[in-house]
Amino acid sequence: MELWFTERETDNIKVQWKVNKTLYSKKSPFQQVDIVEFTEFGRALVLDGIIQTTIFDEFIYHEMIAHVPLYIHQKPERVMVVGGGDGGTVREVLKHPTIKQVDLVEIDKEVVESCKKYLPELAGCLADPRVNVYNVDGFKFVEEKEGYYDVIIIDSSDPIGPAIGLFAKPFYQNVYKALKGDGLFTAQTESPLFNSQLIRDVYSGIKEIFPIYYLYTAQVPTYSIGPWTFTLGSKKYKKEDARLYDENMKLRYFNKEIQRSTFDLPQYIKELL
Ligand code: SPD
């Protein structure tokens, strides 16, 4: 018998994925955590019925959320990743030779443990001695830091459930405080087609806090229909300050051409902002 997983995109759109098997399924104190193997996109982390990452195209999202801010910073040493318990973002951060410390703040221990076991291509990096894993609330963790991080990356799930506070202005104010004087941050900020109001709100909040701010996109087939957005806020460095991509890093999506055109936006997204 064929097994199909259905993801609800909007009230009127559902997308179906053929499943080979379910590898892990557990209700944590925060959410339902599943690891499934899709027929086309391979193993995937699913939280509360929403696909977070798949082996097939995770590199696009994780490279873009990590390398865009890290190349803009002139010497990133201390990085915090909020959410991202699958480890994909941390894996990309560790590719930068200047990195000394990565604090991964993932509220749900179940996410980290299940990914270590079933998605080792992503979570294997969490054994690196430069990485500290904190299973605590990202909002509170950030609130307690001051002038400490070079780069903060907010790799959250959608703005429902445990991640909701990570899309609000008070959180970005704390992110500003937690960064050093030349620090910058990037957050995943959802689909410009289906979450336009959220993007507008997030962008205007960030604009009131950070002197430099940009939105950029990437096409991540796993997420929704159409492009996905990321919003970057910076205290000092501008996009023009970015160090040139080092080809020895041998990334799969990010390259010199993508770096050059990262912040080019289609007209409908410019108008959204
Ligand atoms: N609609 C799902 C969006 C999820 C974005 N973050 C995923 C975390 C992957 N590291």
Ordered by where they begin, the domains of the chain are 3-54 (2.30.140.10), 58-272 (3.40.50.150)
Q: Is the CB of 157 inside a 6 Å radius of any atom of ligand 1?
A: yes
Annotated catalytic residue within 57, 108, 150, 155 = 155
Question: Closest Cα to atom 7, ligand 1: which residue?
Answer: 52
Residue 162, pLDDT > 80, answer no
Residue 172, pLDDT > 90, answer yes
Q: Is the CB of 53 inside a 6 Å radius of any atom of ligand 1?
A: yes
What percent of the chain has pLDDT above 90? 96
Residues in the annotated binding site = 31, 62, 86, 106, 137-138, 155-158, 162
Q: Is the CB of 158 inside a 6 Å radius of any atom of ligand 1?
A: yes
Residue 43 tokens read as 């193993």
Per-residue pLDDT at 160: 87
- Distance of alpha carbon 89 from alpha carbon 61, whole angstroms: 9
Per-residue pLDDT at 224: 75
Distance 215 CA to ligand 1 centre (A): 17
Nearest to 23 by CA among 85, 114, 113: 114
- Distance of alpha carbon 73 from alpha carbon 51, whole angstroms: 30
Per-residue pLDDT at 163: 87
92-128: pLDDT as tens digits = 999 999 999 999 999 999 999 999 999 999 999 999 9
- Distance of alpha carbon 47 from alpha carbon 43, whole angstroms: 13
